[in-house]
Chains A and B, each alone.
Chain A
Amino acid sequence: MMLKMFGCLIACTFLVAAPAAAQENRPWPERIFVTIDVPFQPLNNDFSESLSFADTLRRTENVTFVAGYESARGALFDVGAGVRVANNFGIGVIASWLQRSSDASFDLKVPNPLVANRPLDVAGSVSGLDRKELGIHIQGLYALALGKKGRVMLGGGPSVFTTKQDLVRSIEFDTLPGFTALGFHQALIEEVERTVLGFNLGADITWRLASHFGVGTVTRYSRAKATLDPGAESGVRRAIDMHPGGLHLGGGIRLLF
């Protein structure tokens, strides 16, 4: 879905840009440009964990743990720069920073040691889980003219994401006498950091307002896969997949040198 949207965006950009190119405007007159944007990440980027492992008491049944982490939608902060290498080609780098707080729900089912197939359940939610995501997007750039003052800069390349995500490491619960129920006590949260490699594709539209200043919009889709392990009290291995990046739509200022 996202790739289709992005494809349409690129196609439209070419359609709009083509007449401008015909006017023989120079789409990239400056040597270096700097972008400062505030994009918005509108897509669903929630993720979840589903874990099942043998119970130490009732070995024929499994403990199951399911956690769902809500999307971290919201505004980012982008700073980037590009340098023309030859004609309409250049290279650039953009740093994007996302910091959001979201909620998670969990459901822990523990086999009842006294009764087969009647697991005890403790469920709830945790709020204020931080997600911090620094993306470094390296791009090969190609500029297309868009009228006399505008241009579209198409770019793409690898992205490196450093993600810090609060995860539910364990649920601390009380077992009521007779194993009649579990009482939730607290959720133990662990911040897990992971650096992973992904990719990015994007289009930057710049509208020059002065010789060294302009405004623009940014459209970028980036994605990577990070597998996180917050550890476990029971020693079981965790592997929680989440995807840094997403669709970033926004605008900002352009400094041209």
Chain B
Amino acid sequence: MKRMNGVWLAALASATLIFVIEPRVHVGQTQTLPAPTVDNVRFPSGYQASYTLLYTFDNYQNRQIRKVYGNPIAASVTPGQVFNFPYGSIILFESYTVLEDAAGEPLLDRDGRFVPNALTTIFVMRKERGFGADYKELRNGEWEYVAYRPDGTYATQPSGSGSCALCHLTGGSLTLTPQSRNVGAQWDYVFRPDLYFSRGSGAVPDGVLQHYVFVPSTIHARPGQTVTVYNSDQILHRIVADNGSFDTGIMAPGASFTVKAGGDGTVISYHCVIHTRVKGQVVADLPPIRSRLP
């Protein structure tokens, strides 16, 4: 009960913050949000060579690909430390525009993933002792944020990074509570660590497994299409094809598996070997993408 109260209080506090801050965001944009005026983050030159690619996330809403990297300190974090990163942690994501079709829908490669077009921005967050105090009520642990262009110039200056802190604070308040085991002195939230620790694919989901049910239970796909299903349940599952063609192994929450649809009209059925009533299928019954040229 205490935990529930904590969750609600945190959500309420966050909602209040958003309510209070939102007009300032609209009127003065990020300049009115409290933020550091000095770049303590600094552009991480050469990160491609020394950082670890943690996961790649296809952002359907923003038509972006986000490739998330961690420096060796951040990449060494275990699931038990995920919301309490050590000082010296640097996490960044490369933001790519994606290739789209004539209707503005993202094109998908053979694995059902977005296809990068151009690297536009590198968003960097860095945790050091005492960082983040300038965000005041928006503070999210001891992180500070800056966005750079690929050439190292600013896409979002430190003084405009209040919106970054706000977003992380909101995400943390919806997910974490003061009673959360790994929370530090203040919120210490990063987005989607499950994609890294559970090896979720980061593809746009075609289905999820939640509350012991595949939703949807039947995925309609085009022949040959790769579909991605996430374990959004709070327990372990292990999915195998009825015909034995695949076996996911134990899937932690946040993990995903993919199924390549067969030829026109074929059905691939699967089930959880731990929870035998958990059943789903992929039916290749959608029409192919048909075009005419010239």
Contact = CB atoms under 8 A, between A and B. Distances in A.
B222 interface: yes
A179 B99 CA distance: 13
Given A57-B101, A114-B115, A177-B224, A233 B109 contact: no
B107 A65 contact: no
Given A114-B99, A178-B108, A179-B109, A185 B293 contact: no
A99 B176 CA distance: 81
A172 B292 contact: yes
Interface string A47-84: 00001010011000001010000000000000000000
B292 A233 contact: yes
Contacts of A174: 288-291
B109 A178 contact: yes
A110 interface: yes
A11 interface: no
For chain B, the bracket of interface size reads 20 to 34
Contacts of A188: 292
| Residue of B102, B110, B289, B291 with most partner-chain A CB within 10 A | B291
A236 B225 contact: no
Contacts of A173: 290-293
B256 interface: no
B294 interface: yes
Given A57-B102, A176-B288, A177-B226, A110 B293 contact: yes
The 10 A-B pairs with the shortest beta carbon distances in the complex, nearest first, are A178-B110, A174-B288, A233-B292, A170-B292, A177-B225, A177-B224, A175-B289, A232-B294, A65-B294, A172-B292
Interface of A: 51, 53, 56-57, 63, 65, 108, 110, 113-114, 170-180, 183, 185, 188, 232-234, 236, 238
29 contacts: A57-B99, A57-B102, A110-B293, A113-B101, A113-B107, A114-B99, A114-B107, A170-B292, A171-B293, A171-B294, A172-B291, A172-B292, A173-B290, A173-B291, A173-B292, A173-B293, A174-B290, A175-B288, A176-B224, A177-B110, A177-B112, A177-B223, A177-B224, A177-B225, A178-B110, A178-B224, A180-B110, A180-B224, A233-B294
